[in-house]
């Protein structure tokens, strides 16, 4: 159980740190956000591995039950990759104000998604007992966050400024 508590603490602290460093046009703050995204992704991957070892169902049901892990992991990787690709414009504040708005929306959606998932995981101790309602809510949040991240990618690619 201490292993889970450590991973939860890593996820919570990295989410809060990422939330506070978004919007600071500084190379150190941008690098901190990138590291936070990758730290959360690693912790989610470790939780997925631990939870997958407890699944006692068929392969198809197991894959469906692992979708929340995979969606959160994919969103975190996509966010980190975007920040890596556009590190220079972000750290020198040559991005549109929309970048900061959409980044904050994305991190808040990730916080909600991770919070819902960890609450269910913490109370049920296994992902094979996730209800359809929980899977639907997590899927909806992942879809909305993917739309936000796609908008963020378009903003970074086409709406950079020369300030």
Cβ burial of 132 (10 Å; 0-12, 13-18, 19+) is exposed
Decide: pTM greater than 0.75: yes
**Domain residue extents for the chain:** 2-158
Instruction: Express each pLDDT in 84-106 by its tens digit.
Output: 999 999 998 888 888 888 999 99
In the chain the first and final C-alpha atoms are separated, in Å, by 50
Instruction: Express each pLDDT in 34-87 by its tens digit.
Output: 999 999 999 988 887 777 666 666 767 677 777 888 899 999 999 999 999 999
């Amino acid at each position: 159980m201490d292993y889970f508590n450590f991973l939860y603490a890593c996820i919570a602290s990295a989410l809060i740190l990422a939330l506070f460093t978004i919007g600071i046009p500084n190379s150190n703050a941008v690098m901190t956000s990138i590291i936070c995204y990758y730290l959360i992704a690693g912790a989610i991957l470790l939780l997925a591995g631990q939870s997958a070892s407890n699944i006692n169902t068929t392969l198809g049901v197991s894959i469906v039950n692992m979708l929340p892990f995979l969606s959160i992991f994919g969103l975190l990787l996509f966010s980190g990759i975007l920040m890596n690709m556009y590190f220079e414009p972000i750290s020198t504040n040559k991005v549109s104000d929309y970048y900061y708005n959409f980044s904050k929306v994305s991190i808040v959606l990730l916080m909600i998604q991770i919070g819902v998932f960890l609450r269910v995981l913490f109370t049920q101790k296994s992902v094979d007992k996730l209800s359809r309602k929980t899977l639907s809510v997590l899927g909806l949040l992942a879809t909305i966050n993917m739309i936000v991240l796609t908008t963020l990618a378009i903003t970074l690619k086409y709406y950079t400024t020369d300030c």
